[in-house]
Chains A and B, each alone.
Chain A
Amino acid sequence: MGSEVVRIELDDERSQLSGTVFDLRERTVDRTSLVAAIRDEDSPYTVECVTPGPVHDRVGIITASMGLNSRTALAAAGRSRGLETQYDDRIDRLAGELDDLTAAIDDEREPPSGPPPTAVARLRERTAELRGQIEALEATGADVTDARARLRETAARRSELETKRIAAEQSRERTRERRDRRERRLRLEDRLANARRDARAALVARLREEYARAVSAIVPEAGEPFEAPAPTAALAVCRVARIRAPVVLAVDHFETVEDGADWLDAPVVRL
């Protein structure tokens, strides 16, 4: 196999290191900065290497106190080797649909609410009342000028409220449409998550034996391999995976760093 050459430049000295196996235990190296440099994030160090993939995110740095979901990591290891599953077409299709739908989703919020329905109803009643009064006054031949003015005013207020009510209803309708799209998105996301879960399970089933052998090579008396301590599980996943970016080792499991790099078949930095 043979790993690609990795170049490391630390901040404290101008010397550049290069190779596939690095034992930096004698030096003061900040682990976080080193990992950031490997992942091409902001860092005082520079590391030239193959861009790490998803499996490196999970097992690329192995410490005594790490946590790990070993099944998910093992599935990622399978992907790093280019393994495919019967669910992949479905995953691609759902992910595509989800992207399209997400592009059509906006977060615009409508003005909160219109006038309370009771306000409109009250004005409607008031208008009818005033009309009744005017008719009654006219029947007696009395002056209806004031009553008419009141009616006009009430009617104007009522029509203003009605307009606001209709606008509020339309805005509710638009909000409902926005939520309909969100509902479809949620359903798609759930289906996609299920398909991804199925794919992970298929990958795990396929690699289970290989992984169990790797675990028992590290800890011969190991029981259920998925219940192995996280650093052990991570080393086993690393061995199963095809990793070309450097693995940062902060645990003692190998006689020499070279042994570790050979067994993992990956570039290794021992801190």
Chain B
Amino acid sequence: MLLVVTYSRAARRTLRNVCSAHEESVVRQFGRAAMFEATELSAFHALRMQEKHGLDVEIDRVERFEPASVPESVREAATAYENRDTPSLPYRQFASGRDHPDPASMRGEPLE
């Protein structure tokens, strides 16, 4: 998908106009940003906005998140931590007593 983020009032106005005129291409709109389907038409609209507003329009390509692409140990850790008995327990401590990955090791691991 294409993520378009705006950085000025004028660019934000243009984005809103484009979104309402081309609803079929919009996956989701958030205030001054919007996600478009990854089509040539979306790219055309995004590039037009950038042509008009320069650096006030940022275009990024983002992927849909698939939980299955995350190692099982990480998914299990998230589930277990959110279901912990002691709400005040920091994750680092929670993980050390059990078989869960510690934050430092996860930080260095890029996602697939």
- Footprint of B on A, CB under 8 Å? 107, 109, 175, 178-179, 182-183, 185-186, 189-190, 193
Contacts and interface: CB of A to CB of B under 8 A. Distances in A.
B9 A109 contact: no
Interface string B21-45: 0000000000010000000000000
B54 A186 contact: no
Tell me which of B7, B32, B58 has the highest count of chain A C-beta atoms within 10 A of its own C-beta: B7
A85 B10 CA distance: 28
Given A107-B54, A107-B55, A109-B55, A179 B7 contact: yes
A178 B55 contact: yes
A193 B12 CA distance: 14
Main secondary structure of the interface of B (DSSP, over half): helix
A175 B32 CA distance: 18
Contacts of A175: 55
Q: Which 7 A-B residue pairings sit nearest by Cβ, starting from the closest?
A: A182-B7, A107-B54, A189-B9, A178-B55, A179-B7, A186-B7, A183-B7
Contacts of B56: 182
Interface string B78-105: 0000000000000000000000000000
24 contacts: A107-B54, A107-B55, A109-B55, A175-B55, A178-B55, A179-B7, A179-B55, A179-B58, A182-B7, A182-B8, A182-B55, A182-B56, A183-B7, A185-B7, A185-B8, A186-B7, A186-B8, A186-B9, A186-B12, A186-B32, A189-B8, A189-B9, A190-B9, A193-B9
Contacts of B55: 107, 109, 175, 178-179, 182
Nearest to A175: B55
Main secondary structure of the interface of A (DSSP, over half): helix
Contacts of A107: 54-55
Interface residues of B, number: 9
A189 to B, nearest CB: 6
Contacts of A109: 54-55
Given A186-B9, A193-B9, 16 more contacts: A107-B55, A109-B54, A109-B55, A175-B55, A179-B7, A179-B55, A182-B8, A182-B56, A183-B7, A185-B7, A185-B8, A186-B7, A186-B8, A186-B12, A186-B32, A189-B9
A179 B11 CA distance: 13
A221 to B, nearest CB: 39
Nearest to A178: B55
Contacts of B9: 186, 189-190, 193
Interface in B39-88: 54-56, 58
Tell me which of A186, A189, A190 has the highest count of chain B C-beta atoms within 10 A of its own C-beta: A186
Contacts of A193: 9
B2 to A, nearest CB: 15
